[in-house]
Amino acid sequence: MKSAVLVFPGINRERDMARALKLASGNETAMVWHAETALPKGTDLVVVPGGFSYGDYLRCGAIAARAPVMDAVRNFAAKGGLVLGVCNGFQILCESGLLPGVLMRNAGLKFICRDVHMRVERSDTPFTRGYNAGQVIRVPVAHGEGNYEADEETLKRLEGDGRVLYRYCSPEGVVDEASNLNGAAHSIAGIVNERGNVLGMMPHPENHVEEIMGCTDGRGLFAGLVQQFEKAA
């Protein structure tokens, strides 16, 4: 699996992501500066990492969504290439039109930095094949604008099409208000586009892939992506 991680001014999780990808695939990850107009040849996966692109001016992800490299990402996705956006990356994917909806201020109006639990809703996608449907995983979050919102029609379509892949829940897998830390509609933590090749999620699986962190629940996402390309080969 050949992956490329985008780098914008203010992004701060690009190295975490590159390390997780290398640990999973054994391959070095290309770092692509925001001013580039093309992705490296042979790219299989593009990742938009977390951080504070352009200082989160205007709206989170709004400026980054209009960076030169995003035209290449949109073309890549249109051809079926896999794209993963985490935290600020999720915000950028929404602002760029690659995913519906928007990420608003957390319901409590405070920055949240802690581990959360998510329920894996499906296991038959490139982004979830490393898990079992219904499995509960623990990963960190670090965001002030993670409250996913969309109009009712969009939410119905996301649910009806099975495009909600990750949902905030209790350690036992119960989806309830107490576990919905940022107030996201339908407790949504991660969604895919209609084609299923673009995933946006708020939690950071890249920070739970090594034993030293005390939890390795994030490994499944990256292992599943590697398996996806091994199967294709």
The SS3 of residue 209 is coil
In angstroms, the CA 201 to CA 182 distance is 13
What positions carry a catalytic annotation?
A: 87, 204, 206
Give me the domains of the chain, ranges plus CATH numbers. 3-231 (3.40.50.880)
pLDDT (0 to 100) of residue 230: 85
pTM to 2 decimal places: 0.96
In angstroms, the CA 107 to CA 30 distance is 36
Angle at which helix 219-232 crosses helix 14-25, to 10 degrees, equals 50
Residues of the chain with pLDDT under 50: none
Contact 62, 22 (CB under 8 A): no
Q: Are 11 and 47 in contact (CB under 8 A)?
A: no
Gap between the Cα atoms of 129 and 132, Å rounded: 7
Q: Can you give the pLDDT at residue 210? A: 97
Q: What whole-number distance in Å separates Cα of residue 54 and Cα of residue 9? A: 5
Report H helices in the chain.
14-25, 69-78, 88-95, 152-160, 219-232
What's the pLDDT at 233? 60
Q: What is the CA radius of gyration of the chain?
A: 16
d(CA 150, CA 170): 23
Enumerate residues 6+ apart whose C-beta is below 8 A from 164: 121, 158, 186, 188, 190, 191
**Which tens digit of pLDDT belongs to each residue from 9-57?**
999 999 999 999 999 999 999 999 999 999 999 999 999 999 999 998 8
Element (H, E) at 7: strand 3-7
Short-list 114, 52, 115, CA closest to 88: 52
| Token duo for residue 124 | 């038959």
